[in-house]
Amino acid sequence: MSNPVTKNFAHYEDLRVGQQIDLGATKLTREMIVSFATRFDPFPFHLNERAANASLLGGLSASGWQTGAIALRMLLENFPEKLASAGGLGFKNLRWKRPVMVNDTIGGTVTIVALRRTKSNRQWGIATLDFDIRNQKGHTVMVMVLDNLVDVRDPSAPLEETAT
Amino acid sequence: MTRWYEDIEPGDRFDLGQHTFNEREIIEFSLRYDNQYFHTDPELAKHSHFQGIIASGWHTVCVGQRKLVDSLFAEEERLRARGQEPGVSGPSPGINEMSFKTPVRPGDTVSYVLIVSNKRVSNSIPGWGLLFNRMEATNQRGEAVYCAEFVGFSKLRDFRPSFKQRLAMWAAKFPLLRTLFKK
């Protein structure tokens, strides 16, 4: 059961509801936006100004998937310790509230809003993470609620909510 | 799919094609965006419950987005070849739900399918409709990789703006007037 890689990582028992992680700041340059969009989301409004100005977005802006990918990276980089994650289960209510335009700087917070053990597998708990991604003006650009499996240090512990 | 809003019906199904994930691209994506040992290090990944390296879920979804956009352009080409004017797909306001079901391992081939589940005219943006789509990604063994509920904007062909809307659209060309109309 013990995993030598994650032995010293933060486990389910180390997390608490209400814990908030500040994501720092990432500036999205034109080059970053176009290179991501070329590979994964080549809509003209993510690739060139002319098409972008004529679109609903009103200017060249990042793929929403890039905003999410960078949010994920910022979470992993800014988590106080490495997390004994066992993979993501999925997410709900992802909303791209505003476009992220060229040279915008994104940051924001991730808050642990719920922690629960799984009945089907005592080895894991589920951490519910609330993403609030903002631009340099403080406007929310993206939100989502992600469920992630986290290793439990002591799987024999009774299945009850951890103290918060 | 780059059809006009009016030409898309619930139940319509679009095969978006498939992609085979190799270890190099799985590691490359993960080092950049999802740097966890079971996505980036084949040796360390053996200690995880996955017992080997798997793709970041975000990676499998980004490839799905690429397949979707490629299919939209292919449809556009087909319509133009038939002398028809293609519709316009807009950006997506969001994803209602995304569930990751089975991990993707190096060598797995994932097929992507989009099924239209519902549609309605947008309340907030005149001239546009909203499509509610279900995306299903399946591996070569027929196991679900992920399924998701997407929302996307699609332009109306038969849109006749009211006098007030025409005035607002004209005013939107001038920044000062635009702020007046937003109030």
**Chain centroid to CA A127: how far?**
12
User: Taking a contact as any Cβ pair under 8 Å apart, which residues of chain B between 44 and 73 contact chain A?
Assistant: 44, 47-50, 54, 57-58, 61-63, 65-66, 69-70
pLDDT of residue B125: 86
Q: A106-120, A128-142, B32-46, B156-170 — which is least confidently predicted?
A: B156-170
Residue B175: per-residue pLDDT: 61
pLDDT in tens, B53-65: 999 999 999 999 9
Mean pLDDT across A93-106: 96
Q: Residue A22: enclosing H or E segment and its boundaries?
A: strand A20-22
Predicted ipTM of the assembly: 0.93
Q: What is the mean pLDDT of chain A?
A: 93
B96 touches chain A (CB under 8 A): yes
Window 101-130 of B: residues touching A by CB (8 A cutoff) are 103, 125, 128
Q: Which of A4, A56, A99 sits opposite B125 (nearest CB)?
A: A56
List, as own/partner pairs, every contact residues B23-29 make where C-beta atoms lie below 8 angstroms and the sequence separation is at least 24, other chains included.
B23/B53, B23/B106, B25/B59, B26/B53, B26/B54, B26/B55, B26/B56, B26/B59, B26/B104, B26/B106, B27/B53, B29/B55, B29/B56, B29/B58, B29/B59, B29/B62
Q: Residue A120 has what pLDDT?
A: 86
- The reply to whether residue B69 touches residue A92, judged by beta carbons under 8 angstroms, is no
Interface mutation vs chain A, best among B46, B54, B58, B147, most A CBs within 10 Å:
B58
**pLDDT of res. B181:** 54
What band does A63 get if pLDDT is binned at 50, 70 and 90? Answer: very high
